């Protein structure tokens, strides 16, 4: 059997178990940092098949690595990132059940490919992509040090091999005012909620002067407790995004000025604190993308794209700045079914979605084989990464 035939055989052998694993994670959704069932399920599955599993990495209880090493000498080290956190209230509406198990499928079939070259494949369990960005904490903990390449796939309604993303940072704007009776003594109060509402108003006026790639959006986390009490505390959670890391910093300052002006106008005080990690914009390795595109065709992928899908923010962007990486998106449907909706969550638990998951796993495994078996390709990937990061 050829290496490709062995990969296909391995995926067919484990197909039912892999689909069942993806389905069980979908039907037991856990929000970021609480993905105990998902992480344990993946770890137990890989441990039983010869992977060396280490749990609780980088201060994250549900982070893990599962490692398989082949051959002697210095191995080529390749990582498949697994995500498995769900969204509050709507479950796996970003398809992380598919992402996580596609990476498992890729690693397992690569381990059983019969490839003679020395390599080390790692499934990197990365919690809370939707919240604080678990990959960033794992970068800080050194989990990606010494890795030669990393990849994952993402489901959507458009196939995008060259994936870019929006740099992103979230802040809490906490306004402090003074309580008073809203009817009998309003002049004694300083309304913290006014500060929050004026902040959103100021941001809306700011939008005309921002670049088209910028997104500023948020919610009111706390607006008071009773309608007849002027609130002395109000909190807004606001996220700022841009395709440009540097421009994002400029926009952050302007949004903060919106809040400071609101505090001045409302007679309140504002404290601004960051929430989670700074998501950097994705820098995809083009040579790896070309190899993945070729491998995706070999895996028999049928592109269902009929619509253009916009950009979000991903902590894989941070990974792409410490190791050559790709993050392609594959279409699950010809319909426009946006992510982060109940409809997309339902789509991610269908036979069609699990077929794309398995195809993505095969394409990633084939991509890894081509990289591991060709030193010239390895050098090309490394040189491209070095040049990109030096700019």
The answer to whether the CB of 39 falls within 8 A of the CB of 128 is: no
* Cα three-residue angle 43-46-48, rounded to 5 degrees: 105
Residue 110 CB contacts under 8 Å (≥ 6 apart), including other chains: 7, 68, 78, 119, 121, 365, 368, 369
Q: Which residues of the chain have a pLDDT value below 50?
A: none
| Residue linked to tokens 């678990």 | 134
CA-based max dimension of the chain: 85
The answer to whether the CB of 303 falls within 8 A of the CB of 121 is: no
Tokens of 35: 């993905």
Q: Which fold has domain 167-279?
A: Alpha-Beta Plaits (3.30.70)
Output the pLDDT for position 341.
98
Query: What is this structure's pTM?
Result: 0.91
How many Å apart are CA 235 and CA 219, to the nearest integer? Answer: 9
The answer to whether the CB of 15 falls within 8 A of the CB of 358 is: yes
How many Å apart are CA 6 and CA 106, to the nearest integer? Answer: 12
Output the pLDDT for position 272.
98
For 345-365, write each residue's pLDDT tens digit: 999 999 999 999 999 999 999
Output the pLDDT for position 92.
98
How many Å apart are CA 168 and CA 182, to the nearest integer? Answer: 38
Output the pLDDT for position 276.
87
The domains of the chain are located at: 3-165+282-390, 167-279
| Domain pair 3-165+282-390 / 167-279, same fold | no
How many Å apart are CA 361 and CA 161, to the nearest integer? Answer: 15
Output the pLDDT for position 247.
95
CA 189 to mean position of chain CA atoms: 43
* Kind of pairing between the strands at 76-82 and 119-125: parallel
CA torsion 8-10-16-20 (nearest 10°) is: -110
Q: How far apart are the first and last CA of the chain?
A: 44
Read off φ and ψ for residue 90, nearest 5 degrees. Answer: -125, 10
SS3 of the chain:
CCHHHHHHHHHHHHHHHHHHHHHHHHCCCCECCCCHHHHHHHHHHHHCCCCEEEECHHHCCCCEEEEEEECCCCCEEEEEEECCCEECCCECCCCHHHHHHHHHHHHHHHHCCCCCCCEEEEEEECCCCCCCCHHHHHHHCCCCCCCCEEECCEEECCCECCCCCCEEEEEEEEEECECCECCCCHHHCECHHHHHHHHHHHHHHHHHHCCCCCEEEEEEEECCCCCCECCCEEEEEEEEEECCHHHHHHHHHHHHHHHHHHHHHHCCEEEEEEEEEEECCCCCCHHHHHHHHHHHHHCCCCCCCCCCCCCCCCCHHHHCCCCCEECCEEECCCCCCCCCCHHHHHHCCCHHHHHHHHHHHHHHHHHHHHHHCCHHHHHHHHHHHHHHHHC
Q: Which fold has domain 3-165+282-390?
A: Aminopeptidase (3.40.630)
Judged by phi (left if over 0) then psi (alpha if -120 to 50, else beta), residue 2 lies in beta
Name the β-bridge partners of 119: 70, 76
Output the pLDDT for position 379.
98
The answer to whether the CB of 236 falls within 8 A of the CB of 173 is: yes
The residue among 250, 314, 234, 237 whose CA lies nearest residue 282 is 314
């Amino acid at each position: 059997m050829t290496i490709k035939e062995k990969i296909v055989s391995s995926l067919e052998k484990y197909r039912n178990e892999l689909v069942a694993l993806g389905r069980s994670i979908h039907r037991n959704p856990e929000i970021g940092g609480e993905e105990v069932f998902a992480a344990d399920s993946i770890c137990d599955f890989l441990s039983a098949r010869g992977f060396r599993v280490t749990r609780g990495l980088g201060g994250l209880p549900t982070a893990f690595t599962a490692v398989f090493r082949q051959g002697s000498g210095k191995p080529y080290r390749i990582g498949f990132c697994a995500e498995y956190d769900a969204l509050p209230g709507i479950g796996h509406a970003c398809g992380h059940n598919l992402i996580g198990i596609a990476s498992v499928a890729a690693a397992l079939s690569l381990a059983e490919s019969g490839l003679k070259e020395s390599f080390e494949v790692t499934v990197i369990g990365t919690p809370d992509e939707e919240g604080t960005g678990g990959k960033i904490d794992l970068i800080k903990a050194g989990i990606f040090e010494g890795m030669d390449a990393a990849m994952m796939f993402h489901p959507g309604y458009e196939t995008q091999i060259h994936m870019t993303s929006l740099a992103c940072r979230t802040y809490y704007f906490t306004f402090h005012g003074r309580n008073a009776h809203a009817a009998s003594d309003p002049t004694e109060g300083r309304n913290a909620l006014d500060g929050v509402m004026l902040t959103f108003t100021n941001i809306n006026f700011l939008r005309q002067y921002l670049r088209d790639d910028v997104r500023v959006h948020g919610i009111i986390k706390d607006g008071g407790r009773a309608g007849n009490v002027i609130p002395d505390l109000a909190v807004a959670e606001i996220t700022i995004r841009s395709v440009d890391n540097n421009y994002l910093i400029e926009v952050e300052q302007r949004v903060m000025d919106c809040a400071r002006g609101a505090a001045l106008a409302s007679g309140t005080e504002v404290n601004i604190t960051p929430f989670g990690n700074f998501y950097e914009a994705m820098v995809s390795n083009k040579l790896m993308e070309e190899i993945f595109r070729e491998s995706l065709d070999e895996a028999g992928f049928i592109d269902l794209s009929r619509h253009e899908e916009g950009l979000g923010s991903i902590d894989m962007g941070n990974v792409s700045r410490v190791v050559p990486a790709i993050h392609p998106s594959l279409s699950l449907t010809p319909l426009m079914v946006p992510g982060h909706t109940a409809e997309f969550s339902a789509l991610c638990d269908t036979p069609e979605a699990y077929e794309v998951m398995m195809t993505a796993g095969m394409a990633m495994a084939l991509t890894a084989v081509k990289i591991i078996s060709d030193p010239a390709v390895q050098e090309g990937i490394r040189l491209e990464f070095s040049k990109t990061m030096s700019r």
